């Protein structure tokens, strides 16, 4: 399959959100223009994004809301549940475990790990923090689809290596390091301080 830009994939996720919203309101069809307005983009962009995957609309009419939603879920691989583990039981790890937004979208967090003796055994949301030494055994017994790394940056690379060795093929990395992995492993980075720094740059230069 043709390589699709990350920006396109992210917009598709957004469109899906909007469609689900429209669906909830009983709206039957939408135009590319409506999706564009809602998503802060242009109708041409919406149509182009969709056109990489097929022709889902009706000329003169627009897109049937439920059908397009099904198509997008299919494209994005959201027609199944994903098991997720969180590595690191600090503030953000805890927030992610409790975060309702993941489960609502089919991402089920099933475990959380830490190496801090004082945290192991504590409760985070409805999970108990497990000793990181159990990682390999646990992943062997019950593989996960995605690991979220929320550790100090010094620990992140080693944990990534262990996760990959244990079969994990997708990592969401909150640690401020560039993880080096085999290139069949997907890594996305989230860096919260970086977002604020981008705002800081914007404030200074406006």
Residue ranges in contact with DNA by CB under 7 A: 3, 5-8, 30-33, 41-45, 47-48, 50-51, 55-63
Provide the minimum distance between the beta carbon of 189 and DNA in the complex, in angstroms, as a whole number: 14
Residues 6+ apart with CB under 8 A from 132: 87, 113, 114, 115, 159
Q: How many residues does the chain have?
A: 206
Determine the Cα–Cα distance for residues 179 and 147; give it in Å rounded to an integer: 13
**Helix crossing, 43-51 with 6-24: angle to 10°?**
110
Element (H, E) at 151: none
- Which one of residues 44, 67, 134, 201 is an interface residue with a second copy (CB under 8 A)? 201
User: Residue 41 carries which DSSP code?
Assistant: S
Residue 60, binding choice from DNA, a second copy, none, Cβ under 5 to 8 Å by partner class = DNA
Q: Is 23 in the site for a second copy (CB under 8 A)?
A: no
162 binds, among a second copy, DNA, none (CB under 5 to 8 A by kind): none
Stretch that binds a second copy, among 59-67, 98-106, 113-121, 130-138 (CB under 8 A): 98-106
């Amino acid at each position: 399959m043709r390589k699709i830009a990350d920006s396109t994939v992210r917009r598709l996720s957004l469109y899906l959100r909007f469609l689900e919203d429209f669906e909830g309101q009983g709206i039957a069809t939408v135009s590319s223009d409506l999706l564009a307005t809602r998503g802060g983009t242009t109708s041409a962009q919406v149509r182009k994004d969709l056109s990489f995957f097929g022709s889902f609309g009706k000329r003169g009419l627009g897109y049937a809301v439920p059908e397009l939603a099904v198509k997008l879920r299919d494209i994005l691989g959201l027609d199944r549940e994903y098991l997720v583990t969180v590595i690191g039981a600090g503030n953000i790890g805890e927030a992610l475990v409790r975060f309702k937004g993941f489960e609502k979208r089919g991402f089920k967090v099933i475990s959380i790990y830490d190496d801090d003796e004082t945290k192991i055994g504590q409760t985070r949301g409805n999970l108990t923090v497990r000793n990181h030494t159990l990682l390999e055994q646990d992943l062997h017994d019950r593989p996960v689809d995605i690991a979220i790394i929320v550790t100090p940056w010094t620990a992140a690379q080693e944990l990534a290596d262990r996760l990959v060795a244990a079969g994990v093929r997708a990592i969401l990395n909150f640690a401020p390091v560039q993880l080096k992995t085999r290139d069949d492993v997907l890594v996305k980075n989230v860096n919260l301080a970086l977002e604020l720094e981008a705002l800081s740059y914007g404030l200074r230069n406006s």
